[in-house]
């Protein structure tokens, strides 16, 4: 009978850690059990978790300055200019004929090229001012930290559990197995102690 102790201890170690992991997320709502208010750690601390995550994202991962720099990067400015250039070509060569056929007939190729060059120069010179206004508007309207806090706070507890399990399922499984292994070792030690006690008599 005593040789079953390691296996019993292993089961106890595994089930204890398994239940501890489950209690990170359950019960979802606060329940009164034997006079004690019980709720899963993550559901209970979801708002605090959201606030910490929001601060981390805003200060360490994705600041407003990072977004503004990305929008105003050389590659994005070049993309804007290329897009405007293509739109101008389409307007001068196609849409102008549909909207104002007589005007389009009077504009030769060289004239269209001059109009485009003049407009492109004006847009290129105005681009820094446009980007500054966009950045000012982003700074006024976008609060990265508050956005993350609101999103995470409004997650359903099931969704939050699913996300965390997807990220940490290997670690959770390791904790369960570790509980079984430690329980088995403790059971072996108990058997050893019982044997030593028997031999001492």
For the segment 186-201, the average pLDDT, to the nearest whole number, is 72
Q: How confident is the model at residue 15 (pLDDT cuts 50, 70, 90)?
A: very high
For the segment 48-74, the average pLDDT, to the nearest whole number, is 78
What DSSP state is assigned to residue 180?
H
CA 88 from chain centre, in angstroms, equals: 39
pTM over 0.75: no
Domain that holds residue 90: 2-200
Q: How confident is the model at residue 201 (pLDDT cuts 50, 70, 90)?
A: very low
Q: How many domains does the chain have?
A: 1
For the segment 43-67, the average pLDDT, to the nearest whole number, is 78
For the segment 19-26, the average pLDDT, to the nearest whole number, is 84
**What is the pLDDT, as a whole number, of residue 1?**
67
> Which residues partner with 32 through β-bridges?
37
Q: For 97-122, what is each residue's pLDDT tens digit?
A: 888 887 777 888 888 889 889 999 99
Q: Please, which residues have CB within 8 angstroms of residue 103's CB and are 6 or more apart in sequence? A: 96
Buried b (16+ CB within 10 A) or exposed e, 153-171: eeeebeebbeeeeeeeeee
**Number of C-alpha atoms within 13 angstroms, CB side, residue 69?**
5
Structure tokens at 68: 């503004």
**What is the pLDDT, as a whole number, of residue 86?**
92
CB 181 within 8 A of CB 7: no
Q: For 120-171, what is each residue's pLDDT tens digit?
A: 999 998 988 888 888 888 777 777 778 888 877 777 777 777 887 888 888 8
């Amino acid at each position: 009978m005593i040789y079953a102790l390691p296996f019993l201890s292993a089961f106890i170690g595994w089930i204890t850690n398994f239940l501890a992991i489950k209690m990170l997320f359950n019960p979802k709502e606060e329940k009164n059990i034997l006079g004690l208010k019980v709720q899963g750690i993550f559901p209970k601390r979801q708002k605090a978790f959201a606030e910490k995550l929001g601060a981390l994202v805003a200060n360490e991962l994705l600041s407003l300055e990072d977004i503004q720099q990305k929008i105003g990067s050389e590659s994005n400015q070049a993309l804007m200019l290329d897009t405007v250039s293509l739109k101008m070509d389409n307007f001068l060569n196609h849409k102008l004929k549909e909207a104002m056929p007589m005007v389009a007939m009077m504009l030769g190729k060289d004239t269209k090229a001059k109009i485009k060059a003049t407009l492109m120069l004006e847009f290129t010179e105005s681009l820094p001012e446009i980007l500054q206004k966009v950045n000012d508007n982003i700074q006024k309207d976008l609060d990265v930290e508050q956005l993350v806090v609101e999103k995470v706070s409004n997650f359903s507890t099931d969704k939050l559990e699913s996300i965390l399990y997807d990220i940490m399922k290997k670690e959770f499984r390791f904790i369960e197995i570790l509980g079984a292994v430690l329980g088995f070792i403790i059971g072996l030690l108990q058997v050893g102690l019982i044997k030593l006690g028997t031999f001492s008599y």
